[in-house]
């Protein structure tokens, strides 16, 4: 009997040890522990072991790691919320943000970082990225080439580094996740201190073209749906040493060449220009939506590009985000939204998560009027505050941003269902719903016709715009 019990105990012990050996690894996200490293040096542990998959729990939930307003598969105004939003995580802020600012050094030290900018470290970050996306329930991500892979000593080495990391990203994406957009980082390296496509040096122009060529190829390979051009240093500090006309011509030729190459390799994604007024240059050539549209029109590129509107850039240019979105929308060029905001008491681009429900509602008004923004979406070009240093904060910030935009969509649905705001606007312009109004809008009323009408009608009566009523109706939906 004793021998049989001992044999049974040994058998159970072996089964238990075998189960441990075959169980999936759940190492903490601590690079110093080494428990997640295999023979190739690539991390295989769990980066966010204390964070569950984020779920919708409704407005009454007190759980910070849950959605209160964003319910991905819930249908609003004829589409699922996830199809209205198409949320994306910005790799550079989420996984390369350090918390540094113009007055202070790094404050964030994520446990998986080993202090290097090696290819092995880049692969580890990429694994963290996809665990984050999966736990957050987001299907898209955005990247700069040099954020996901280190710059090499030569262009060939940089491309080789990028190829290694992109191969891993392709594997980790599976069939569901893909880039909302990719782009080339043409503003950090000293070679781009005078600009990239607008540099005074032809060698820099050629290097930038080669870098964009590779970035478009990589975006295409990963199944990206868009490609963005942000002219971080495409502008000037002073006109005293700048040939503005020549630089803008060079920028146009650069973008025309990008269009040609996109078509050559069969990339069907949308090309996007991201307006920004200043910072880091004193004056950037894509100042705002209207300036960018004029540029595209002048150089015959209106059919090839749309705009990526960033809310914080809009306010820096002296506009509201809603204004920039509407400017892009009415011109048929609203392609994507970088969902963030700035601080009215701080003068630079602070890239904060948008949490103002009123602003989110106005943003969603434009999106709904546009019928959605696919193949674009909402990219969280936003970063944690310098003082937020916990891994959990990465999730909380994105959850808050996603819930805010979802709440904005729900508010728009309320406004449309109520109909009062739309009726107020209709009544304000109802004088143009007459025969003469229709002639004006059709371009068939010349000055002689209008003069006769003015004499016939006499002094016009101008009704109230009902601005306060419009604001009351809007606020009631919040």
pLDDT score for 344 = 84
Q: Which residue has the tokens 């101008």?
A: 462
pLDDT score for 345 = 84
Cα separation of 454 and 239, whole Å?
48
pTM (2 d.p.): 0.90
Cα separation of 148 and 218, whole Å?
11
Q: Is 149 helix (H, G, I), strand (E, B) or coil?
A: coil
Cα separation of 149 and 463, whole Å?
61
Which residue ranges form the domains of the chain, and what is each CATH number?
Answer: 69-418 (3.20.20.150), 423-476 (no CATH)
The CA–CA distances, whole Å, from 377 to 127, 339, 367, 432 equal 23, 9, 10, 35
pLDDT score for 27 = 54
**Max alpha carbon distance in the chain (Å)?**
118
Q: Is 335 helix (H, G, I), strand (E, B) or coil?
A: strand
Cα separation of 111 and 371, whole Å?
42
pLDDT score for 29 = 57
Query: Are 62 and 395 contacting, i.e. CB atoms less than 8 angstroms apart?
Result: no
Task: Find all residues with CB under 8 Å of 113, minimum gap 6, and list them.
Answer: 31, 121, 125
Among 144, 194, 250, 398, which one carries the catalytic annotation? 144
Q: Which residue has the tokens 């604001």?
A: 471
pLDDT score for 348 = 80
Let me know if 144 is a catalytic residue: yes
pLDDT score for 36 = 54
Cα separation of 332 and 345, whole Å?
33
State which residues of the chain have pLDDT below 70.
1-44
């Amino acid at each position: 009997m004793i021998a049989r019990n001992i044999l049974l105990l040994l058998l159970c012990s072996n089964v238990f040890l075998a189960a441990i050996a075959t169980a999936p690894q759940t190492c903490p996200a601590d690079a110093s522990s080494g428990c997640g490293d295999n023979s190739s040096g690539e991390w295989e542990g769990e980066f966010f072991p204390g964070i569950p998959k984020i779920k919708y729990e409704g407005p009454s939930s007190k759980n910070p790691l849950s959605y209160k307003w964003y319910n991905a598969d819930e249908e609003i105004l004829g589409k699922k919320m996830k199809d209205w939003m198409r949320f994306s995580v910005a790799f550079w802020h989420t996984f390369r943000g350090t918390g540094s600012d113009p007055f202070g050094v790094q404050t964030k030290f994520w446990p998986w970082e080993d202090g290097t900018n090696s290819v092995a470290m880049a692969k580890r970050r990429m694994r963290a990225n996809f665990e984050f996306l999966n736990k957050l329930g987001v299907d898209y991500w955005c990247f700069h080439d040099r954020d996901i892979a280190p710059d090499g000593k030569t262009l060939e080495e940089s491309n080789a580094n990028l190829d290694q990391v992109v191969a891993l990203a392709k594997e980790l994406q599976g069939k569901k996740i893909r880039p909302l957009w990719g782009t080339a980082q043409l503003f950090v390296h000293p070679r781009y201190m005078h600009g990239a496509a607008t540099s005074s040096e032809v060698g820099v122009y050629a290097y930038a073209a080669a870098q964009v060529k590779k970035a478009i190829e990589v975006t295409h390979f990963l199944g990206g749906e868009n490609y963005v051009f942000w002219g971080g240093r495409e502008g000037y500090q002073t006109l005293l040493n700048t040939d503005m006309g020549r630089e803008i011509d060079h920028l146009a030729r650069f973008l025309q060449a990008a269009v040609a190459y996109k078509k050559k390799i069969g990339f069907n994604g949308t090309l996007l220009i991201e307006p920004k007024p200043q910072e880091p240059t004193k004056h950037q050539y894509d100042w705002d939506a209207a300036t960018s549209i004029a540029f595209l029109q002048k150089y015959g590129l209106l059919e090839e590009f749309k705009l990526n509107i960033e809310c914080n850039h809009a306010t820096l240019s002296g506009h509201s985000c809603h204004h920039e979105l509407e400017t892009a929308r009415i011109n048929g060029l609203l392609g994507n939204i970088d969902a963030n905001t700035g601080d009215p008491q701080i003068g630079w681009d602070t890239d904060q998560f948008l949490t103002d429900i009123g602003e989110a509602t106005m943003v969603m008004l434009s999106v709904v009027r546009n019928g959605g923004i696919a193949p674009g979406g909402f990219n969280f070009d936003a970063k944690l505050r310098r003082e937020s240093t916990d891994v959990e904060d990465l999730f909380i910030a994105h959850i808050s941003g996603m819930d805010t935009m979802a709440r904005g969509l729900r508010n728009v649905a309320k406004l449309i269902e109520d109909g009062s705001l739309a009726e107020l606007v209709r009544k304000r312009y109802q004088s143009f719903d007459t025969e003469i109004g229709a002639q004006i809008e059709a371009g068939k009323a010349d000055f002689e016709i209008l003069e006769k009408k003015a004499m016939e009608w006499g002094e016009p009566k101008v009704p109230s715009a009902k601005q306060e009523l419009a604001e009351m109706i809007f606020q009631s939906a919040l």
